[in-house]
Amino acid sequence: MIIIEVNEKRNNDPKIKGEGGKQMAICFRETAKEFHLYNEKISYILTVLENGQLGHLYFGKRLKDRESFAHMLNFRARPMSVCAFEHNLDFSMEHIKQEYPVYGAGDMRYPAIEVQQENGSRISEFIYQGHRIYKGKPELEGLPATYVEQDDEADTLELYLKDQLTGTEMILFYTIFVNVPAIARSAKIMQTGEEEIVLNRVMSVSVDFPDKEFEMIELTGAWSRERSVKIRKLEHGTQSVYSMRGCSSHHYNPFLALKRRETTEGNGEVYGFSLVYSGNFLAQADVDTYDTTRITMGIHPDTFSWTLKKGESFQTPEAVLVYSDQGLNGMSQAYHTLYRSRLAKGYWRDKERPILINNWEATYFDFDEEKIMSIVKTAKSLGVELFVLDDGWFGERNDDTRSLGDWYPNLEKLPDGITGIAKRVEAEGMKFGLWFEPEMVNKNSRLYREHPDWILGDKGRRLSHGRNQYVLDFSRDEVVDAIFGQMYKVLSEAPISYVKWDMNRSMSEVYSAGVGSGDQGKVLHRYILGVYRLYDMLTKAFPKILFESCASGGGRFDPGLLYYAPQCWTSDDTDAVERCKIQYGTSLVYPVSSMGSHVSAVPNHQLLRNTSLEMRANVAYFGTFGYELDPNRLTEEEKEEVKEQIGFMKKYRRLIQFGTFYRLVSPFEGNEMAWMVVSEDQRNAIVGYYRILQTVNGPYRKIRLQGLDPDKIYHVSRIEEDLYGDELLWYGLDVSDASSGENREEYNGRNGDYQSKLFLLSSIE
C-alpha cells in the first residue's frame, strides 16, 4: 500500500492555477478508511466498505474536513434484501451508495463493470488493495483527456483494487483541480491472472445520489438542429442518452446534467457529467424504487467486448464531473474554463481565431481557380483573413459520388495544384485553408479500387451507404497510416494554415476484415483510437495549423475532438434563428471559442429563411466568426456592412471568445433569446438580444444581466446611458420594442420578424 498525503495551500494565478489562499487537498483517514477530495468549491468523499469494496459518501458543495463522514453512508437493509455476510441482515450492497459497482455483490442495479471469465461467470469482486495520492495528473495513453501544465494545478488519487479469483486488477483515477469545481475520473483494467477475461461493460464513472429530486438535462436533436436543451423530471427506472452510430452523433451529446427543480441559469444546484470521447457512448440515470439515483457514463456496452489476456490492459475514456451551486451558468463556466485551457491544446488554444470565408455555399462543387481567386480578392478587400477551400478540390471530385480517399489535387480545376492556389491566396495577403474527409471513401475512387477490403462491412451482406460513401476501417493501423501519408504530402507541400476535418455519415454494418471473430467487439473503439492517432500525428507534424473538426456540421461536437481541434463546425444549419438555439444549447458544455459560426447568404440554404445581414452577424459573433457566401454577390451597401462587421469582430473577438459567457433568456422557452459575455476584469461586456417574431402592442421587457461589478458605472450603447452595475443586475436592461409593433422604430434596417440588438457595456472609471 502506497500513501502520500497532500494537504497544502496554493499560491498561483487565477483561473486554473488558483489564487493565493486557495486550498486543495486529498485527505485519507486511516482509521475511517475515507478519502476526502476538496478544493474551495467542492467536496468528493468515498470510503472503503466492510467487504473491501468502495462506497460513495458525498459529492457537492465544499464541506469542512473531519475525522469521519461515516454517518453519510446512511444505509440499512430492507426486507427481502440480498446481504453480503452470513448472519448479518444489515449490510446489503443493494442499498449502499457505491463508487464503482460490480455484478455479483448483491447489487441489483446496473453495474459499472461486467467481467466474463473463461467458465462463463460474470461475477466479480474488486477489493481495495491500496492507493496513491500525488500532485499533477497523468496522461491517458492513446486517449484525449484534461491535463495540467504544472503539477500544482491538480491533485490525483489512484485507488488500487483486485479480483483475487481472476487476478484482474483495477485502478480508479480521480483528479481534482485547484480552482475549478470539477473531478476527472477514469478506470484502467489490467489482467494479471492466467486466464483470459472479457470486458462486456466498463464505464468511466458511476455516482450514486441519495435521492431522485432532480431534473435531467440532455442535449438532443438531429442533423441541422443539434444540441437542443431538453429537461425531464427523473422518475423510477432508467433515463438515458446514447449513441450507437460510431460517433457521438447529432442526436445526443455525451453529456447529461442533474439539476434541482428550482435551479435556474443563475442560481441553484446542478451536477454535470461530460465524457471525453467521440464514439458510441451511454449516459444513464437509473432511479430505483427507494428513490436513489445512479449515474453511469462511458463507452456503450452494446457491440462492445474487449478480451484481455495476461499482461494486457484497457483504459476507459475520461469523464469530467462538475458541481455548481450558482446555476447552469456556473456549471457551464466551469466546463468552459477547463475545456478551453486544459483540454484544447496547441498553438491556437489561447489565440484569437482568424475571420474566414468558406466557399462551400458560394460554389459547392462548381468552381475553378479563377472563380476561387475572385472570391478571395473581394473577401480580402472586406477584411477577411483566411480563405477555406471546401469539398471538390481533389481527385475527380465534381459531385458527391466519387474520389473520397484520393487526396491529390484535381488539376482540371486547379492547374498548379493546392500548392499553386495556396500561394496565390497568400500573395493576396490572406491565409489558406483546406477541407478533408479522411475517414471516408467512395467506391468510385482509386483508393477503393486498390483496397476494397479497407472499408467497414461484411462482404457477404448488403452494405449501406451514406451520402454515397463508405467508412474506412480506421481500426487498422495500415489504413490510418495510408491516409496520413496522403494528407502529409498535401499539407507539407503547400502553405496551409487551417484544416476543416469533415465526417459525413454514421457507421452501420460494422465488421472489420482486419481482425478475427473474437476481436469484432473491439472494432468501434479501435476506430476512434485510430481517429485520435491520425489527429495526433497531424497536429504534431503541423503544430501551427488550426484544425476545425466537423461531422456534417455538429455530429461529432464532443470533448474528445476538442483535445485536438480547438474549434468545431457547430452545425451545417447556418440560419440565424436556428443558430440561436444550436449555439445556446452547445454553450451548456462548450466554450464560445470552440463554436464555428458563419454569416451565410439568404435565402438560407437550409431553411430558405430571410434574415437581415445584421442579425446573421449578431448571432455569428458569439463563436469563431466567418462567412459562408459569395462576396461578389453582395451589393455595395452590403459590402460596407460586412466591413463594419469584420472591424467589430476584430476589435472584440478576444472578449467574445475568451470572456465569461452567460446565458440570460432561453430560445427554447419563448420568442426571445439573450446572452452576454463579460471580460475577466468586469470592465467590458457585450449583450446579445434576439427576438424571433414581431409582437403587437407587447409588454415592456427588461433583462437582468449577470457577471457585472455592481459598483461600477457602465456606459451602455444603443440607449447611450450610464448605469450602475447593480441596476443592470437587479433592475435590468430595457430591451422593449418602442414601436409596439407599429412601423415607427427602425433597427436592423427595418421592423418585423427576426430582429436583434447588441449592447456594448464599458465601465467608466
Pairing of strands 215-220, 197-209: unpaired
The question of whether 350 is a catalytic residue gets the answer no
Q: In 251-341, at which residue ranges do the beta strands (DSSP E only) sit?
A: 255-259, 270-276, 281-287, 293-299, 306-308, 313-315, 318-324
Check residue 237 and give left, alpha or beta (phi > 0: left; psi -120 to 50: alpha). left
Q: Is 188 helix (H, G, I), strand (E, B) or coil?
A: strand
Say how many residues make up the chain.
765
Alpha-carbon distance of 382 to 192, in angstroms, equals: 64
Q: Which residues have C-beta within 8 Å of that of residue 66, sequence separation ≥ 6? A: none
Radius of gyration (C-alpha) of the chain in whole angstroms: 27
Contacts of 513 (CB under 8 A, 6+ apart): 453, 459, 473
> How would you label 125-149 residue by residue, b for 16+ Cβ within 10 Å and e otherwise?
bbbbeebebbbebbebeebbbbbbe
Consecutive H or E run containing 333: helix 327-342
Nearest to 574 by CA among 621, 643, 620: 620
Which is it for the CA torsion 528, 530, 533, 534, positive or negative?
negative
Residues 6+ apart with CB under 8 A from 98: 53, 54, 55, 56, 107, 206, 208
Q: How far apart are CA 198 and CA 122, in angstroms?
A: 9
Between CA 301 and CA 315 the distance in angstroms is: 15
Specify the residue for cell string 466568426.
625
**Counting Cβ atoms within 10 Å, is residue 528 exposed (0-12), middle (13-18) or buried (19+)?**
buried
Give the separation between CA 502 and CA 552, rounded to whole angstroms.
7
Catalytic entry in 502, 558, 630, 737 = 502
Q: Which of 79, 71, 76 is nearest to 90 (CA)?
A: 76
Helix (H) or strand (E) holding 232: strand 228-233
Main-chain dihedrals φ then ψ at residue 345, nearest 5 degrees? -135, 170
Q: In what order do the strands lie in the sheet with 34-38?
A: 6-10, 22-29, 34-38, 42-48, 54-61
What would the grid cell of residue 656 be? Answer: 467574445
- Map grid coordinates 465601465 to a residue: 763
User: Terminal CA-to-CA distance of the chain, rounded, Å?
Assistant: 58
Cα 178 to the center of its chain, rounded Å: 21
The single residue of 107, 208, 558, 572 carrying the catalytic annotation is: 572
| Nearest-angstrom CA–CA distance, 198 and 201 | 9
Given a contact cutoff of 8 angstroms between Cβ atoms, the answer to whether 531 and 523 are in contact is no
55, β-bridge pairs: 47, 98
Cα 310 to chain centroid, rounded: 35
* Cell numbers given for 310: 495476461
For 580-598, the DSSP string reads HHHHHHHTTTS-GGGEE-E
Distances (CA, A) of 543 to 350, 492, 540, 565: 14, 12, 5, 11
502 catalytic, yes or no? yes
Q: Enumerate the active-site residues.
A: 502, 572
